[in-house]
Structure 1
Amino acid sequence: MTIPLHVLVTGATGRTGAIVVQKLQQRPGEFIVQGFARSEAKVRELFGTTDGFYLGDICNPDGLKVALEGCDALVILTSAIPQMKAPPQPGQRPEFIYPEGGTPEQVDYQGQVNQIDAARAAGVKHIVLVGSMGGTHEQHPLNRMANGNILIWKRRAEADLIKSGIDYTIIRSGGLQDQPGGQRELLVGKDDEWLAHPPEGIPTAIPRSDVAEVVVQALRAPSARNKAFDLISKPADTPGAVVTEDFHALFEQTTPGL
């Protein structure tokens, strides 16, 4: 009998993180999943119980150490979240800030480094890190938002993960959509090549559920180990598109390194 993989998912109450947790919970023979989140209320709202969850802050390495004990794999889905300062007046652009202690440098860099260091100390064998495309484009709108350079900090953490010696899978998604998954052809790329030249002119976007499925499949497939890639999908109504079902073949198209 195969021994289930023990997985910790951080950012487990986020909009993508919650889907990852649910998908792993649906495979009890393959995975023992635990979530890590800050808000007990949000855990209860989404899952109805705190069983199987650790409550903590990724900026506190001690909490991560406890949560990672006995884990085989770690899925990192944490991210800084900008907040609108005030509703804009008609004709004005909205202004954003990051809350105290929640800047991209603190969350997307140091918080992820904390997770990587704690995982290495715990003997974790594989880290799946979900990031975003745009880390090579300093002027990307998300980098300019509140002058946080969020995608640049994310990419710095990705480089640290590669240097850590732990097997990694780095998934840089396009724009996330709240649409059903499992209905599209997925495409993998590298180095933000699609931001300037989208393949076949398609939008650089993807449903959250499809990103979550790629996370689950990356935990299962040896061909996803030590790979980093951009991830988007063709629109569901694209003529000639073939819904992605062979994830081994998808991961075979990806390459190591940033």
Structure 2
Amino acid sequence: MSESEPTPVAILLVEDDEVIRKSVAMALERYGYRMTVAADGLTGLELFREGRHDLLLLDVMLPALDGIGLCRRIRETSTAPILMMSARGDALDVVSGLEAGADDYVVKPVDTAVLVARIRSLLRRASVPTGPGTSDAPPAEPAGLLVFGDLSIDPAALEVRRDGERLALAPTELRLLLEFSAHPGIVLDRQSLLRNVWDYGWDGDTRVVDLCVQRLRKKIGADRIETVRGFGYKLRR
């Protein structure tokens, strides 16, 4: 690879079904992604620890270590975007994956174009280039330090501190907090959050929003984000 060529986005795919694993890997390679694959959770964890991966694509049902457990282990040391795959779209699978730290999920079988759209959306949120031939760039953030009680947010540096201690936020959690902090005291409904934070150009599953808000509350303080029943959420001034 020449110095002028962009580094391919690296994706780790962990899927035990050989047919799905090969077909998804081949499809994503055609879009310019560099794929690493594993057939079980423990192997996936080893590969994750051994190399650099810009995004993780994890099946829920895996041998040795299931996708939920693998997601939790990855989140102990990494904020890389995680996209879960569920064969059934079962509510328990979805909620468990999001609670474990996943950023989004898709239901198998998934159309390649939809999968690539979700991947690009996650990478934009993580400020990772989305591959050859794209011009997607992260949106500009407002300058200046934002302070809400013991919580301080530096949009330019993408840093969040609570009582002076820096918080480790996953990319989606950070973008969600930035969206709230840009509209303090204003109620934001779930669909607008899906559009502005998750980059959904279509109606998505609002459980994604609810579970991410739940994870964010644990890090910045449970009372910092208020639920306005029947409408959405707002950041307390």
Higher relative contact order (CA 8 A, sep 6+): 1
Place the TM-score, normalised by the shorter chain, in its bin. 0.3 to 0.5
